[in-house]
Amino acid sequence: KFVEILTIPFIRTTKDVFVNRIIYPRLMNEQKTFVVTANPEIVEYANKHEEYKQIILSADYITPDGIGIIYASKWLKQPLEERITGYDMMHDLFELANLHELKVYMLGAEEAVIEAAVEKVKQQYPHSRIVGHHHGYINIEDQELAKSIADLKPDIILTALGFPKQEQWVNMHKHLFEKGLFMGVGGSFDVLAE
């Protein structure tokens, strides 16, 4: 079930159903998955930049991040249930990682921020396995970095580079990975590190 808003198809479900009935089984089956949490800024940017739009449309799922998307869906008389934000889903993914001892890689934000964010995750989700992290001030085309991340075989790869870079990075490098749930989380590491 999808609702198309300005040519972007959003999944029509609740966060809990999305995480537990779609994402959880895909993680357990090691199915590679790309999730984009799109807010109105992303939709607007995608409609102005065809290359970025194709990246967004290549995602397995696009979720509504931002109340503006919910309002638009109501106006179209195809109401989306609720916001499904990168920040909330990041916590749900850490929770799954904690329960199932999944491997997580965290890419993005400033050095001090990512260090603090990793510490927070280790405290709050002690059974999750943070197999690596890197700050986000990188050349997104850097193949060596991407390969070194792929070699760790993470189950979950969170990119906090801001859009459009975080989705561009996933698009450029996910072919190097055998498995993994890829999701851009914007400024979420900054919030986590606070």
Question: In degrees rounded to 5, what are phi and psi of residue 102?
Answer: -80, 155
User: Are 106 and 158 spatial neighbours (Cβ–Cβ below 8 Å)?
Assistant: yes
Nearer to ligand UDP, 79 or 92 (CB): 92
Q: Is 131 helix (H, G, I), strand (E, B) or coil?
A: strand
Nearer to ligand UDP, 86 or 179 (CB): 86
The minimum distance between CB 187 and ligand UDP, in angstroms, equals 3
Token pair recorded at residue 39 = 């807010």
The minimum distance between CB 99 and ligand UDP, in angstroms, equals 27
Closest CA to 106 of 141, 142, 131: 131
Side-chain half-sphere of 81: how many Cα atoms within 13 Å? Answer: 13
Residues forming the site for ligand UDP (CB under 6 A): 108-110, 136-137, 160-163, 165, 186-187, 189-190
CA 101/CA 165 separation, integer angstroms: 28
Nearest residue to ligand UDP on Cβ basis: 136
Nearer to ligand UDP, 155 or 167 (CB): 167
The minimum distance between CB 127 and ligand UDP, in angstroms, equals 26
Residues linked to residue 134 through DSSP beta bridges, in sequence order: 107
Nearer to ligand UDP, 79 or 187 (CB): 187
Nearer to ligand UDP, 33 or 39 (CB): 39
The minimum distance between CB 25 and ligand UDP, in angstroms, equals 28
Nearer to ligand UDP, 75 or 137 (CB): 137
The minimum distance between CB 175 and ligand UDP, in angstroms, equals 22
The minimum distance between CB 48 and ligand UDP, in angstroms, equals 15
Q: Is 80 helix (H, G, I), strand (E, B) or coil?
A: coil
Q: Is residue 181 classed exposed, middle or buried when 0-12, 13-18 and 19+ CB atoms within 10 A define those classes?
A: buried
CA 131 vs CA 54, 117, 154: distances in Å = 30, 14, 7
Token pair recorded at residue 20 = 């537990």
